[in-house]
Amino acid sequence: MTGAHGRTLVRVEGLTKAFGATTALGGVDLTIHAGEVVAVVGHNGSGKSTLVKLLAGFHSPDGGTVDTRTSGGSPTELRFIHQDLGLVGSLSTVENLALGTNTVRPWRRLRRSDERREARELVRRLGVDADVDAPIEMLSPAERTIVAIARALRGWDELPEVVLVLDEPTAALHGAEVDQLMDVVRRVAEHGAGVLFISHRLDEVLDVADTIVALRNGRVVGNLLRSEADYARLVELVAGHAVEELDRRDTGRGTEVLRVRGLSGGAIRLFDASVHAGEIVGLAGILGSGRDDVCAAVFGAAHRTSGAVAVHGREVAAGDIRDSIRQGVAFVPGDRHRHGAVMTMTAVENLVSVLIPGATSPWHRVRRRSELREAARWFDACGVLPAQPEMELTQFSGGNQQKIVLAKWLRTQPQLLLLEEPTQGVDVGARAAIHRLIVDAAERGAAVLVASSETKELAQLCDRVLVLADGVVVEELSGSELTENRILHASVPA
Amino acid sequence: MSVASTAHHEQTDSVWRDLRQLLSFRNISAIYIWVAMVILFSVLAPETFPTLDTVRIVLTDQAVTAVLAIGLVIPLAAGAFDLSIGSQLGLGAILVAWLLRTQGLGLVPAIIGTLAIGACVGLANGLLVTKAKISSFITTLGMSSVLLALISWVSQDSQILNLGSGFQQIANRQILSIPMSVYIMVVLAICVWYILDNTYLGRAVYATGGNAEAARLAGIGTDRVIIVSLISCSLLATVAGIVLSSSLATGDPTVGPPYMLPAFAAAFLGSTQFRNGRFNILGTIVAVYVLATGVKGLQLIGAPVWIPELFNGVALLIAVAVTRRRSSRKRARSAETTSLTADQAA
């Protein structure tokens, strides 16, 4: 597709928007052609969301133009898929696709079979074989996104000039699901639509885009063809400087901290592992491989059907989280909003929310001054910005929230650190900072277990990676064998 | 020297900022409304409203509502509803009279027995919510009906009179011409405030209300927190019932349910005050008295009898609407501040 674009569908010129004294967007130029996937990348706060909101007409621009007419003069329609997809979870795909189509005669009798046929065709055209009668909430996150795309593209045949705008569509998706979605995005472009793809995940952008626009501080700092771009170049553009690669010095293994024997529960079957002090062990695998069930089962937060977990030779019982914490186990869950933090409380309240059993009784008086002093130290150590510990957690950016959640557990001085997707939804700068914190913890003698869908992260961070498939470890990689390719290769069951 | 003086400047600046924040209309709107109402009613009813008697009557009348609302704040903070507080107050009121008069128990055993049964109701609510996993809304709605039946059965639907002067003294004895019921309320308010605001237990309650799963994974026994908060609420509702029977000198089977709505209105209105949308004791007490001042003022200028119901209902709706609006605005603002701060950081 590269180079041979179709007609111009949308032309954005000099788009500018300021909030108060801060320029959110300063003179952005952007062109989308038919059949082209244009990716916009940037940190949180680089102006990506402002751009989407201006295109959607949510804000009006202070300057510049958005021209939504093709070179031929016919109008282009922009269709948006926002992060929360706007689907009704309890209704089926068929019903969701039909929503809003008969507003003219709401009392008209439903033609279920027609609706079902249309829905099935639409979804199949996107190359997905989902059950169109199942409630949306039963579908995987990727399938849900695809249904949202199908809905946005409804009636597209009669109206060929469409630009699909996807705002961070992969934020909630895991590795294999991302691939599924990327296929759909490419298919949509092949059918002649333009796609504007907003993301901060650089590798997937490199995967799908024809043209990449990098934003920093509201300005376009790079407008590259796919062939001109590589990962390092994008990182440099987005961050404004080259982000130093993580250097792990080999600290050698200490004593054995974690020993897991025959652990089953969730998707995992008879999982064995041993992690030593100072060691970072990764857990890889596709969605459903059991990768995401290990940490919670080891921590005792999820049900175990069998097996034994011991930390420093002492049994960690399932279901007794206070006991796990007492034995020096820390668990940073993958879903920050649902499991990781109390978003409505302040940063400092979250930071000190893990009571170290034995050290503080619940009747203990809260000492606000010393808490704030401690928070200031952690904010400094983890580089949390803005340095306002009394701000509610929701008001921090995703990367800073994640640093606070990590700090909350590092504060307990864990012997064993269990991490799920530690850098999900986090920009490049914060990602490097979080990796640094993890490595520091390991160098101080913690044993670390990291489950991640990002193979690049695992290859950079870990001493050893266990690859899971169908609930069992199928490969163990370390040293020179530990590469992204080997992980990917082992993840996919033959 | 100059460094020290800038530091000093910054400090005074931040003190000013804190003070402005503290006194802002957003933070303490109820107090401003209170002052406005006092001035308004003093002008409209100069003979009857601005008198010491009115102050004393409002203070005393609302002690029971305030105790109930204090109790309600605890489960609300932990993320659980208690719709049975009105019936629990009624149960406390009738049980203590029944134990004293019909069963002929002494004052102390009667009160202890009533509190114990009240606690059992709370425990039942707590177990149904945490173990049977019925939502607190439904659990306590069902419980309130069960309790009404119990009240009716115990009392045979008639008042229980002649409770003895010792029992009446509990609420009515006056110190500095203020009845005991007010002192009881103040002491309970201070205790609950201290626990919710100043101990890790209180933190655990708010964390459970904010995100129960995250709290559980941080090692907080969230089931226990919910059970204990529902028991505390039941105990306070029972105390409110005992105080009410004592001040009326009667066990009346119909007194409970009308107290529920004012307590909810006060707790929700209170959550819009002082603590930025969090349920809190000080805000709740202020809200109880702001609402009562409004009702009293309207009565004194000759408003019809249905005014209190209307006033409380509208106040509850407005309070909840304000909270919702504020939190959605905060979300919108936070999206923008994150981009601003990230820009500054870069």
pLDDT tens track, chain A, 494 positions: 444 457 888 899 999 988 777 778 888 999 999 889 999 988 766 788 888 888 888 888 888 888 888 777 788 888 888 877 778 878 888 888 877 665 556 666 667 787 888 888 888 877 777 788 888 888 877 788 888 888 888 776 666 688 889 988 877 676 667 888 888 888 888 888 899 999 877 888 888 899 999 988 888 888 888 888 888 888 888 877 666 666 665 656 788 999 999 999 888 889 999 999 989 999 998 777 888 889 999 998 888 889 999 999 899 888 888 889 988 999 999 888 888 899 889 999 999 888 776 666 778 888 888 889 999 999 988 888 888 888 888 888 788 899 999 999 999 999 999 999 998 877 778 888 899 999 999 988 899 999 998 888 898 899 999 999 888 899 999 888 888 888 888 877 65
pLDDT value at residue A244: 62
Question: Which one of A397, A406, A426 makes the best mutation probe of the B interface by having the most chain B beta carbons within 10 Å?
Answer: A397
Distance CA A174, CA A178 (A): 6
A383 touches chain B (CB under 8 A): no
Pick from B203, B207, B211: which is nearest to A366 by CB?
A: B203
B339 touches chain A (CB under 8 A): yes
Mean pLDDT of B100-119: 92
pLDDT value at residue B172: 86
Q: A240 and B330 in contact by Cβ < 8 A?
A: no
Q: Which residue of A has its CA nearest to B345?
A: A385
User: Distance from A260 to chain B by nearest Cα, in Å?
Assistant: 20
Residues 432-471 of chain A whose Cβ lies under 8 A from any Cβ of chain B: none
User: Given its phi and psi angles, is residue A20 left (phi above 0), alpha (psi -120 to 50 degrees) or beta?
Assistant: left
Q: A355 and B345 in contact by Cβ < 8 A?
A: no
Instruction: Say which residues have a Cβ less than 8 Å from residue A120's Cβ, sequence separation at least 6.
Output: A132
Distance CA B337, CA A21 (A): 12
Query: For residue B342, is pLDDT > 60?
Result: no
Secondary structure class of B159 (helix, strand, coil): coil
**What ipTM was predicted for this assembly?**
0.76
B104 touches chain A (CB under 8 A): no
User: Given its phi and psi angles, is residue A260 left (phi above 0), alpha (psi -120 to 50 degrees) or beta?
Assistant: beta
pLDDT value at residue B2: 46
Q: A386 and B341 in contact by Cβ < 8 A?
A: yes
Question: Which one of A219, A325, A332, A353 makes the best mutation probe of the B interface by having the most chain B beta carbons within 10 Å?
Answer: A353
pLDDT value at residue A2: 40
> Residue A330 carries which side chain, given as an amino acid letter?
A
Distance CA A2, CA A210 (A): 6
Q: B339 and A361 in contact by Cβ < 8 A?
A: no
Secondary structure class of A9 (helix, strand, coil): strand
Distance CA A159, CA B205 (A): 55
User: Distance from B86 to chain A by nearest Cα, in Å?
Assistant: 29
Q: A44 and B331 in contact by Cβ < 8 A?
A: no
A341 touches chain B (CB under 8 A): yes
pLDDT value at residue B343: 37
How far is CA B162 from each of CA B103, B247, B251, B342, rounded to the nearest angstrom? 13, 12, 9, 71
CB B251 within 8 A of CB B263: no
- Assigned token pair, A137: 């909430």
pLDDT value at residue B279: 92
Q: A45 and B338 in contact by Cβ < 8 A?
A: yes
Query: For residue B346, is pLDDT > 80?
Result: no
Residues 48-87 of chain A whose Cβ lies under 8 A from any Cβ of chain B: 49-50
Q: B216 and A363 in contact by Cβ < 8 A?
A: no
Distance CA A166, CA A40 (A): 10
CB A221 within 8 A of CB A159: no
Residues of B in contact with A341 (CB under 8 A): 211, 214
Q: B342 and A331 in contact by Cβ < 8 A?
A: no
Mean pLDDT of B75-97: 95
Question: Which one of A344, A370, A382 makes the best mutation probe of the B interface by having the most chain B beta carbons within 10 Å?
Answer: A344
- Assigned token pair, B323: 């909270």
DSSP E strands: which ranges in A183-232? 194-199, 211-216, 219-225
Instruction: Say which residues have a Cβ less than 8 Å from residue B95's Cβ, sequence separation at least 6.
Output: B113, B114, B117, B118, B154, B241
Mean pLDDT (chain B) is: 86
The torsion angles phi and psi of B24, rounded to 5 degrees, stand at: -65, 150
Instruction: Say which residues have a Cβ less than 8 Å from residue A396's Cβ, sequence separation at least 6.
Output: A347, A384, A386, A404, B338
Mean pLDDT of B139-152: 95
Q: Which residue of B has its CA nearest to A355?
A: B219
Distance CA B42, CA B330 (A): 37
Q: How many of the other CB atoms lie within 10 Å of CB of A342?
A: 23
Angle between helices B165-172 and B107-130 (to 10 degrees): 60
Q: Which residue of B has its CA nearest to A430?
A: B342
* pTM (whole model) above 0.80: no
Pick from B219, B278, B342: which is nearest to A325 by CB?
A: B219
Q: A366 and B200 in contact by Cβ < 8 A?
A: yes
Query: For residue B327, is pLDDT > 70?
Result: no
Pick from B200, B217, B343: which is nearest to A364 by CB?
A: B200
Instruction: Say which residues have a Cβ less than 8 Å from residue A320's Cβ, sequence separation at least 6.
Output: A300
Q: B338 and A349 in contact by Cβ < 8 A?
A: no
Banded pLDDT at B95 (limits 50, 70, 90): very high
Q: A338 and B214 in contact by Cβ < 8 A?
A: yes
> Residue B125 carries which side chain, given as an amino acid letter?
N
Question: Which helix (H) or strand (E) covers residue A64, if one does?
Answer: strand A63-67
pLDDT value at residue B220: 87
User: Distance from A386 to chain B by nearest Cα, in Å?
Assistant: 6
CB B107 within 8 A of CB B100: yes
Residues 314-333 of chain B whose Cβ lies under 8 A from any Cβ of chain A: 330-331, 333
A369 touches chain B (CB under 8 A): no
Secondary structure class of B7 (helix, strand, coil): helix
pLDDT value at residue A488: 81
Residues counted in chain B = 346
How far is CA A226 from each of CA A39, A43, A48, A179, A223, rounded to the nearest angstrom? 10, 19, 19, 18, 10
Instruction: Say which residues have a Cβ less than 8 Å from residue A130's Cβ, sequence separation at least 6.
Output: A93, A123, A139, A143, A146, A147
Tell me how many residue pairs between chain A and chain B have CB atoms under 8 A apart: 127
pLDDT value at residue B317: 87
Q: B211 and A357 in contact by Cβ < 8 A?
A: no
Query: For residue B335, is pLDDT > 50?
Result: no
Q: B220 and A44 in contact by Cβ < 8 A?
A: no
CA nearest A341: which of B127, B214, B119, B112? B214
Task: Quick: pLDDT tens for B284-323.
Answer: 999 999 999 998 898 888 888 888 888 888 888 887 787 7
B198 touches chain A (CB under 8 A): yes
